[in-house]
Amino acid sequence: MTEQPRYRVVIAGGGTAGWVTAAALVRHVGPLVDITLVESDAIGTVGVGESTIPTARSFHALLGINERVFMRETNATFKLGISFENWLRDGDRYFHPFGTVGRSMPLVDFQHFWLRARERGFGGGYTDYSLETQAALAGKFATGDPAPLSFAYHLDATAYAAFLRGLAEPAGVKRVEGKIRQVERDGDSGDIAALVLESGARIEGDLFIDCTGFRALLIEETLQTGFDDWGKWLPTDSAFAVQSETTEPPVPYTRAIAHGAGWRWRIPLQHRMGNGFVFSSAHLSDDEAREQLLAAVPGKPLFDPRLIRYRTGARKRTWNRNCIAIGLSSGFIEPLESTSIHLVMIAVTRLLQNFPLRHDMVALAERFNEQSRAETEHVRDFIILHYTLNQRDEPFWREHAERAVPDSLAERIAAYREGAMAWQGADDLFRVDSWNAVMTGQGMFPQDYNRMPALMPDADLARALGDLRAGIAAQLPKLPSQTEFLAGYCSAAKEVAA
């Protein structure tokens, strides 16, 4: 009997997407396959995906990553949610926390009890009942005891890719340095057969993973898969990014601050601050955007701001023939809710669950595409929600408020407006608590709510809500500041890398 040749996986491109993919594949199917990653030091990466959501922790557990080591190597800090500033109108602020808000009952979610209390003249704000919100705004953090917090990370994206490479290469991933000159296709099947580098080297494979970023060299330039443009719903198309010196202790949350033609981010790491400015080029010139960003940066910039152009949308298929697009090559939704790294990780997880060792995995590919599309559209709708529910007066924002939204989002808004109904489907990333936080934060208060809480006497409802707030208040003094916790947990070297 002749031995079957080993299955060959070729990853085109490095960066976060490439090395996340390589590290996961080699850990879980390494003995079954040969994995080659092709990247060029001469080609830069976007490198601004520096904020995550709690699902990153589960993915790290899947890879066996030591949290302290990871955080030290990537200058990471903790994140409890996102502070949205000026989104409803100038001077307004709300918080989208991780974790649960309040306490739901088997048949009735918490927001209905809160809305009943609000109608009766007491109850406070929705996120008054979120431990993550109150800890974040107080600048406090700890893992495990004394208070369980749902958290994610802020991280240095360039250092993160290097960290993952340090795991993947010793485990068996072969890295090949070089620029891709040509993508060869099989003359009979039409599948991708090999990558040809400028050096003349030819990298053959059975499965090709496109991590070439916005260029989408394999999935689009070669296979011409097609792209659904979502610019009619999310018309920002540009961003400046710059890192700056730290001027204050890192807060355990991301700041998303609206401006006249978009929004800007502020992401605190242990050794520096990440800053970005997202905007619509139809409403603001590059020079004006750059000037506004630099005026808002609190510390000394470490380099000139980098301009990034993008289109919001998704490939018609993320798995086409023997090519799977992961990361920016599969599509892009602006980074408002920090979902970019999550979408990489969930795509890799889905690939592992359906790992192909044949060329004709048609049914699995279609299922993969359906799941990917459903989750991406859900994220798209959640991002649009922030824009469509605004009361700002600039042309950019008025256009958003007046613009039609996808039917799937219109259904959610109508259900919430009519009766405070929010839900999380099987392929949905964002929980009921997240929809509630953004709906209420953006000024939407339902016309009605589930009437079961009306069966509770006002005094009992007030007492129950007071107990929830008191429980949170009692936890806060037990928590150290994030700065204190980081110093003892994973203090990173204070080198500033430009």
Could you give phi then psi for residue 56, rounded to 5 degrees?
A: -60, -30
Return the CA Rg of the chain.
23
For residues 297-335, b (16+ Cβ closer than 10 Å) or e, as one string? beeebeeebeebebebbbbebbbbbbbbbbbbbbbbbbb
Instruction: Taking each helix axis as running N to C, give the angle between helix 362-388 and helix 432-441, from 0 to 180 degrees, rounded to the nearest 10.
Output: 30
- Residue 258 forms beta bridges with which residues? 263
Q: Is 79 a catalytic residue?
A: yes
**Residue 290: other Cβ atoms inside 10 A:** 18
Q: At what angle do helices 340-353 and 55-63 cross, to 10 degrees?
A: 50
- Which residue out of 79, 174, 478, 494 is catalytically annotated? 79
The arrangement of strands across the sheet holding 192-197 comes to 180-185, 192-197, 202-204
Q: Return d(Cα 25, Cα 153) in angstroms, integer.
A: 23
Nearest-angstrom CA–CA distance, 394 and 155: 33
Phi, psi of 245 (to 5 degrees): -65, 150
Is residue 401 within 8 Å of residue 388, measured between CB atoms? yes
- DSSP summary character for residue 219: I
Q: What is the 3-state secondary structure (H, E, C) of 313-352?
A: EEECCCEECCEEECHHHHEECCHHHCCHHHHHHHHHHHHH
Spatial distance between the Cα atoms of 214 and 289, rounded to a whole number of angstroms: 22
Q: CA–CA separation, 134 vs 126, rounded Å?
A: 12
For 173, list phi and psi in degrees, rounded to 5.
-75, 130
Picking from 267, 225, 231, 229, the residue whose alpha carbon sits closest to that of residue 246 is 267
Residue with tokens 């990489």: 344
The answer to whether the beta carbons of residues 40 and 178 sit under 8 Å apart is: yes
Q: Which residue has the tokens 């920016």?
A: 328
Cα(169)–Cα(346) distance, integer angstroms: 22
Q: What angle do CA 24, 30, 36 make, to 5 degrees?
A: 80
CB 406 within 8 A of CB 377: yes
- Residues with catalytic roles: 79
